[in-house]
Chains A and B, each alone.
Chain A
Amino acid sequence: MNAMARLKYLGTETYEVFNRNKTSWAGLLLLSILLLIALLAPILAPYNPVEQNIIQRLQPPSSQFLLGTDYYGRDVLSRIIWGCRVSFVIGSISVGIAMFFGTIFGSLAGYKGGYLDHLIMGIMDVLMSIPILLMGLLIVAILGPSKVNLIIALALTMIPRFARIARAPTIAAKNKVYVEACQAMGFSDFRILVVHIFPNILGDLMVMGSIWMATAVRTEAALSFIGLGVNPPTATLGGMIREGFKDILSAPWASLFPGLVILLIVFSANLLGDGLRDALDPKLRNEN
């Protein structure tokens, strides 16, 4: 009952602020549609995404192939639908992993301070100094291109970002009187961190999560574009752009449409992130 009431309260308040901003609704709507499409790929896709059909290659969009076909005669729409699925799976899993470890490292560093803080954040800074794409390249080049390696690469590049995001509000919360009051109540550090500080930094993490989700999707596409992503013939958005690139002047649909879908995913995730930030930030809440 207590937990339910709390959720309901936090829910309504967050919902109210979220609701004030129409663009965040647009982001949520768009992202949900794309997610739904990815989820229902086996039902929605009109053709097998990997089946080649040389006779029908590079067909322009028509009633038979809504978004045309690519160099190997595969239906672009079907490949986009399946490609979305790959993007979302890789994006959300890598963000999830990064958020989990990043939060642990960051809040531990922030709460404990001292040498542990220097050690953890030093390692994070080193990781962060390597550009995301370069790090992705490095890991995929070492471990070889596959879905799992791509997720590892993306997660590794995002962990320091989440560590930073978790550390700053942890330090801010640590110096609040209520944490001191918790210590005066004799609660253990673990309990203070998990029960009292974590709910206070969750908002920041959610915002970063949705914004980095967009970056993860983008990076995955970029790596696939240079041929270091998921192996062909699996349909990925970045891979489709690459394959269609050589015919871009004669058959622009093969790379243009997957590019547009990447744009849509990134755009909607960013809109959602901004809306969430406004809704979860207590300072903005009080102003309204």
Chain B
Amino acid sequence: MEYVLEVKNLSTAFKLRSGWYPATCDISFSLKPNETLAIVGESGCGKSVTAFSLMGLLPKHGSRIDSGTALFKGEDLLTMPKDKLRKIRGSAMTMIFQEPMTSLNPVLTVGSQIAEAVYYHRGGGKAAAKKRALQLMDMVKIPAPESRYNDYPHHLSGGMCQRIMIAMSLACEPDLVFADEPTTALDVTIQAQMLYLLHELKQKQQMSMIFITHDLGVVAHVADRVAVMYAGNIVETAPVAELFANPRHPYTQALLKSIPRLDRDNRDIAPIQGMVPAIDKMPGGCRFYSRCRKQTQCRPDEFPQLKALKDSQDHLDRCLLNE
């Protein structure tokens, strides 16, 4: 099997008062074993919705998946029975959340929460689960796991809580981990530690990762491939070095231009003008058209497809001008 996860044409819609509107549409990407894909984009562009759709964690009311397939180790996540998906979730496919302090149950000890993940999916007795939990706590570099085991989440710092979350999600040696902005709520030094830890664990455990973030600095650090999302579409995807060196989509170019950098003259920082179109006012054509600085050369009514560039098969983008 070549890919761990192969997503094709995934569209997810949400219900607003006036009807159903697609939050993401035509999402396609694939993930090789031991590869990290970073999904970047601004708030509300559908990064998390994509992850939640694949995990089957969308709210039951007011959301639906309109189309698409998502083959996870050869099986379609979107059509499989709920019980089967639930068993995969938490064992073969897990998620690390953004807010470590609130992602742990405040009334249960951190150790027991890790042990529960082990016990629930692997069985094998409570004592064995505890032993494995301690081993995992050691693996995510929590000092003196024995004495931390019976601590409650509010005893620990944000970084420590995130280590616990990571330990929980790695408990059953998953093939795929979704990391939904795992470093956003942490301060920068802890962020760096967390990225280093994730990188190290990924090497050790041979897992693939989908890293959702809006921080291009983090992307450069962790990713093998990058998918840039805008207004519910993937607008460009490429290997990380290629994307930073040779961005092709106007949105990606504008995004990279808008970041202050230490190693560059920052006088030419250019913010992107305008706003993301609202979900119920999506244009029929290119969704970036109204903000694009190459607007005058382009056609507003045609919806661009995600296509490989002529000069590089591994680099895809969704722009009429590059066709």
Of B19-27, B114-122, B240-248, B251-259, the stretch lying at the interface with chain A is: B114-122
Partner of A181, one of B104, B120, B130, B149: B104
Interchain CB contact under 8 A, A178 and B116:
no
Q: How far is the CB of B175 from chain A (nearest CB, A)?
A: 14
Quick check: is B281 within 8 A (CB to CB) of the other chain? Answer: no
Interface residues as binary, A251-282 with B (CB distance below 8 Å gives 1, 0 otherwise): 00000000000000000000000000000001
**What interface size band does chain A fall in?**
20 to 34
Q: Which of B4-12, B70-78, B87-95, B285-293 contacts A (4 or more CB under 8 A)?
A: B87-95
Question: Contact between A114 and B61 (Cβ–Cβ < 8 Å)?
Answer: yes
Interface size on B, residues (CB 8 A): 35
Encode contact with A along B108-138: 1 for CB under 8 Å, 0 otherwise: 1101100011001100000000100000000
- Residues in chain B near residue A249, CB distance under 8 A: none
Contact B165 A2 (CB under 8 A): no
Docked pose: A180 CA to B96 CA in angstroms? 11
The verdict on A126 contacting chain B, using a C-beta distance below 8 Å, is: no
Cβ proximity bits A35-56 to B, threshold 8 Å, 1 near / 0 not: 0000000000000000000000
Stretch at the interface among A20-28, A133-141, A192-200: A192-200
Task: Give chain A's interface secondary structure class.
Answer: helix
Taking the complex as formed, is A184 at the interface, i.e. its CB lies under 8 A from any CB of chain B?
yes
Q: Are B94 and A184 in contact (CB under 8 A)?
A: yes
Cα(A199)–Cα(B120), bound, Å? 19
Q: Are B55 and A178 in contact (CB under 8 A)?
A: no
Kindly state whether residue B156 has any CB partner on chain A within 8 Å.
no
Taking a contact as CB atoms under 8 Å apart, the answer to whether A181 and B150 are in contact is: no
Q: Is B272 an interface residue (CB 8 A)?
A: no
Q: Give every chain B residue within 8 A of A182 (Cβ-Cβ).
A: 105
Say whether A131 faces chain B, with CB atoms less than 8 Å apart: no
Could you say which of B112, B120, B152 contacts A187, with CB atoms under 8 Å apart? Answer: B120
Do A199 and B57 contact each other (CB < 8 Å), given the known contacts A177-B97, A184-B90?
no
Q: Contact at B86–A188, with CB atoms within 8 Å?
A: yes
The listed residue (A176, A186, A200) touching B121 by CB distance below 8 A is: A186
Closest CB in chain A relative to B276 CB, distance in Å: 25
Q: Cβ of B188: which chain A residues have Cβ within 8 Å of it? A: none
- A186 touches which of B61, B90, B103, B150 (Cβ 8 Å): B90
**Could you tell me if A195 and B116 are in contact, using CB atoms closer than 8 angstroms?**
yes
A195 to B57, CA, bound (A): 20
Instruction: List A contacts of B57 (CB < 8 A).
Output: 180, 183-184
- Judged by a CB distance under 8 angstroms, whether A191 is at the interface is yes
Indicate if the CB atoms of B89 and A185 lie closer than 8 Å: yes
B102 contacts the other chain (CB 8 A)? yes
B277: CB under 8 A from chain A?
A: no
Check if B94 sits within 8 Å of A6, measured CB to CB.
no
Q: Are A2 and B150 also in contact (CB < 8 A) when A186-B87, A186-B91 are?
A: yes
Contacts of A178 in B (CB 8 A): 102-106
Residues on B with beta carbons closer than 8 Å to the beta carbon of A9: 150, 152
Q: Is B224 an interface position by the 8 A CB rule?
A: no
Contact indicator A113/B107 (Cβ below 8 Å):
no
Determine whether B99 belongs to the interface, using a CB cutoff of 8 Å to chain A: yes
Which B residues are in CB contact (< 8 Å) with A5? 109, 150
B88 interface neighbour in A186, A191, A195, Cβ under 8 Å: A186
Known contacts A113-B61, A114-B61, A200-B107; A181 and B165 CB within 8 A of each other = yes
- Interface status of B194 (Cβ within 8 A of chain A): no
B168 surroundings in chain A (CB, below 8 A):
181, 185
Q: Check A6 against B150 for contact (C-beta < 8 Å).
A: yes
Q: List, sorted by A's number, 30 A–B pairs whose CB atoms are closer than 8 Å.
A: A2-B111, A2-B150, A9-B152, A10-B107, A113-B61, A177-B99, A178-B105, A178-B106, A180-B103, A181-B97, A181-B103, A181-B168, A183-B57, A184-B55, A184-B57, A184-B90, A184-B97, A185-B90, A186-B88, A186-B89, A186-B90, A186-B120, A187-B90, A187-B116, A187-B120, A195-B116, A196-B108, A199-B105, A199-B107, A200-B107
What are the 10 closest A-B residue pairs judged by CB atoms, nearest first?
A: A186-B90, A185-B90, A186-B89, A184-B95, A177-B102, A199-B107, A181-B103, A5-B150, A178-B105, A186-B86
Instruction: Show the binding face of B for A, using Cβ within 8 Å.
Output: 55, 57, 60-61, 86-91, 94-95, 97, 99, 102-109, 111-112, 116-117, 120-121, 130, 149-150, 152, 165, 168-169
